[in-house]
A and B are shown apart, each in its own frame.
Chain A
Amino acid sequence: MTALLEVEAVGKVFGGLVAVSDVSFTLAQGEIVGLMGANGAGKTTLFNLISGAMAPTSGRVRFEGCAIEGRRPDEICRRGIGRTFQIVKPFPGMTVAENVAVGVLYGARRRTPSAREVAAETDAVLAEMGLSAMRDKLAGELTLAGRKRLEVARALASRPKLLMLDEVMAGLTPIEAAGALDMLRQVHETRGTTMLVVEHNLRAMMQLCQRIVVMHHGEKIGEGPPEVVIRDEKVIQAYLGAQA
């Protein structure tokens, strides 16, 4: 499999604080990779470095072979990297359909879609994500689970080749989390979208991810299939606790 995303020795320093240090890994086309670590491990910072919200202090990020580190977030999105946020950021004063339409209008496309194409693709994404009934509601009126689903829908509407999901299950009830897990699986099955997933829900990560990268204090301390990673001594000590 060819690498879609290559993260090479990436680092980020804020003043004297090393948030991410010398992290390297790759994502192959169609793969689902999990990014695990305790709070403050540097997962969201790494997301920000890949998506262009921040420029790395060192290292390279390549997407489809092109260096993208330090490029603007909108440019990176149009190249085919979509993301969601740990603290959800829908467009609350716009309707659910309008939120998705933003992704269709500004996402990774060779030309600007016509009004008919926007309407058709918006409807298709809403149906895929089970949001059709809510299309005319304001995004701010949705529940947390609804807003998280909407963020995934908006990101998918931009036709990403790589979808980065930052804690889409955090704050959800077990039933809602199970629904979100099914939704992500279905997206992967139908679209074959490559995913990089940050999640604290270990069970969900085990079920969803083919490979897991573990971070601790900004460094990568483990990588491999989920069932191998959770038995790794270093990971157990750093992430799950010494007595686990």
Chain B
Amino acid sequence: MKAPSWFAGPIGGALVVALLAAFVVPGMAGDYGIEFATTLVLWIALVQSWVILSGYTGYVSLGHAAFVGAGAYVFILTWGAVPFWFGLVAAGFTSGLLALIVGGPCLRVRGPYFVILTLGVAEFVKYAVINIEASLGKFGRLMIGTPEPVDIYRMAVGLAAIAFVMALVARYSRFGVGLRAIRENEVAAEMTGIRVRWLKVGAFGLSALVPGVVGALMICRTGYFEPLQMFSPQLSLTIITMCVAGGSDNPWGPLIGALFLNILSELLWDSAPELYTVILGVVLVFVVLRMPEGIYGTAVKRLARRSRKAVPGETTP
């Protein structure tokens, strides 16, 4: 655990990049550019939040769709009734609370069982909301008076920066070291004094805060809440794809994964509209086969191998 000397660097760097992105990009990009940048930073926020539980503990969750949808639902229910910022905070905390409630029972199992269970929970929450809405005679809700796209973009940038710093602090804190020990060997972690259950549930709750706010911002963009869209399992699968492509042991991997996939698909869909999903699939297969630790993980490993070659004479006991 290098609570590194560069630890303050990335946090300061993230704040500088966020400020630049928030105030310089809107002046340079048109409406299309701002919409693309908003999509990108919302994905960055989502992957950073996902990595806190799934990247660090190895509990691969398909539950993020539930947290995004729950946040969006709470936001739409409170829309107009409470101040905007209060609605955003309520969306985040509702998702966090939902994760704490379902986390206890869900985190008793691991591996594929946990994956399926979180998918099941997400689907359960989705259909619960659909049924509640149907019983109220509503199949979608409109929002009037949502913020301007550029303001939503700035809020999304702020959220992504917060998510990155959260993931970074978690990674190098006592909490994060405990989570990674759980991933490596849960029995040994518990025998080394780690409150395994508390840490796992805490990480689940923490990782659900940001998706709740993302859900709120997503419906602000469209001005419309529709449960099937907001609770879509494809969202969870896309998050996993980005994290697998980038690497998920620290915040840099998912950040690179989100940038890689968003920029690549943006470049491809314009130049090869019929083929771009096929090309994207081939690129992903290549990344998974050739770089199982993700782009960032593989790069770090290669650099470490090179530097080790430069320092001969190391022995293994």
Contacts and interface: CB of A to CB of B under 8 A. Distances in A.
Interface of A: 51-53, 72-74, 77-78, 82-83, 85, 89-94, 97-98, 101-103, 105-108, 112, 115, 118-119, 130-131, 133-134, 137, 141-143, 145-146, 149, 154-155, 158
B266 interface: no
A105 B193 CA distance: 9
Interface in B225-259: 249
Counting from the closest, the 5 A-B pairs by CB-CB distance are A91-B184, A106-B193, A89-B188, A77-B193, A146-B317
A131 B174 contact: no
Contact of B191 (A53, A105, A130): A53
Nearest to A98: B1
Contacts of B200: none
A112 B316 CA distance: 32
Contacts, number: 99
B316 A146 contact: yes
B189 interface: yes
Given A118-B3, A130-B317, A134-B314, 12 more contacts: A74-B193, A77-B190, A77-B193, A85-B188, A90-B188, A91-B184, A93-B183, A98-B177, A107-B193, A115-B3, A134-B316, A143-B317
Given A89-B188, A92-B184, A93-B183, A102 B316 contact: no
Contact of B316 (A53, A72, A74, A142): A142
A107 B192 contact: yes
B198 to A, nearest CB: 9
A243 to B, nearest CB: 39
A16 to B, nearest CB: 26
Contacts of B249: 93
* Size band of the interface chain B makes with A: 20 to 34
Interface in B5-26: none
A73 B316 contact: no
Interface in B190-230: 190-196
B135 interface: no
B233 to A, nearest CB: 28
A93 B317 contact: no
A235 B120 CA distance: 56
Contacts of A155: 192
Interface string B295-317: 00000000000000000001111
Nearest to B186: A89
A105 B178 contact: yes
12 contacts: A74-B192, A74-B193, A77-B192, A77-B193, A91-B180, A91-B185, A93-B249, A94-B184, A97-B1, A106-B193, A137-B316, A155-B192
Nearest to A85: B188
B187 interface: yes
Contacts of A149: 317
Given A72-B190, A73-B190, A158-B192, A131 B317 contact: yes
A91 B195 CA distance: 16
Interface string B76-109: 0000000000000000000000000000000000
A124 to B, nearest CB: 15
B62 interface: no
Nearest to B187: A89
Contact of B192 (A93, A102, A112, A142): A102
B181 interface: yes
A74 B196 CA distance: 8
Contact of B180 (A94, A130, A145): A94
Nearest to A119: B3
Contacts of A101: 1, 177
